[in-house]
Structure formats: C-alpha cells, structure tokens
Structure 1
C-alpha cells in the first residue's frame, strides 16, 4: 500500500475544490438564467429569494477571484521577467563549462 505525501494530497484537494467551484458557478448561472422569466407571486416569492442567494454567492466568488488575480498576476509577470532576463545575465564562461585551462 502506497502513501500519498502531503504535497500531492494538497494538490488533489485544491483541484477538487476548484472543480467544485466551477460547477457551482455554472449551476448558479444556469439556474438564474432559467428562472429569470418566472411567474412572481409577490414579496414572499421563493424563486426570487433563491435567485438573490445565487447572485450573492456569485458576487462573493467573483470578488475573491478579482483579488487573487490582482495579487497573483503581477507576481507571475515579475517572475517571468526575472526568468527571461536571467538567461541574458548568465553567460557561458570557461569556468562554468568546466574547461581545464593549462598554460
């Protein structure tokens, strides 16, 4: 029996959470679009209440995504720029190539 190390387990868990969030967003979006033209019974309409709850969840998820993108995107761009410029800074020298220099 093999054991799953914690980093692999956390990646699997994060992937499952991402899939569940995507499915939730799709379900809420389809529910709102299908019930948009319902026969409203007034102030105590259960369909309007559930549509309001779906919209609240979508706004909360959207706010978290915008915050994550605004933080992660600049960090990724800086990492890519460092990687690209790092290739130019590291030049091949005889020492880095381990060439023996006998006089």
Structure 2
C-alpha cells in the first residue's frame, strides 16, 4: 500500500468516524426537543441520523468481515508456528564435535 493510499484511507476512516460521532451526538442532544407536530424538522433529522447510523454500522460490519474472513481462512488452511514441527540441531540431538 502506497503512502498516498494509506493517507486517503485514514482520511476516509476519520471522516466516517466524525459523521458517526456527530450523528450520535445530535440524536442525544435533540432527543427531548419540543416537537411541533407531524412535520417536525428535528424529528426528520433524527430519523435520518438513525438511518445513517444503522447503514454505516451495517456497512462497517460487512467491511470488517470482508477484510477479516480471508485472513482467518488462510490461517486455518496454513499451519502455524505452534503446529509446525521444528527441526533444529538441538531437537534432533545432534552432537557438534570438532
């Protein structure tokens, strides 16, 4: 991964984190507002924030699973260091004489 790609990925992740944070804060602050009725702008905005949080939560979960699944599949398919037999001179009890 190049430095530019890594920086772009970090900026996108930071922007998503800020959107999630500010959406949750808006819902918390405006939770007990004085509602004006059926066409309340604050209630509409709260609904949009909830939908955004649900959508990004689902998308984040899918992204994490998509990124993690190949790693776990690869780890299950390939033997790890704990399972692999290590052949060293000490393990084979080889005497090193001059």
Per residue, is there more helix in 1 or in 2? 1
Match of 1:62 in 2: 57
Q: 1:10-49 to 2 correspondence within 5 Å?
A: 10-49=5-44
Match of 1:101 in 2: none
SS of structure 2 residue aligned to 1:85: coil
Question: Could you state the TM-score of these two structures normalised by the residue count of structure 2?
Answer: 0.73
Q: 1:32, 1:72 → 2: CA distance?
A: 30
Task: Give the paired residue count.
Answer: 89
- Structure 2: where are the runs of 5+ without partners? 90-98
Report the RMSD for the aligned CA atoms in angstroms.
2.5
Query: 1 or 2 for the larger relative contact order (CA 8 Å, sep ≥6)?
Result: 2
SS of structure 2 residue aligned to 1:41: coil
- Structure 1: where are the runs of 5+ without partners? 1-5, 95-103
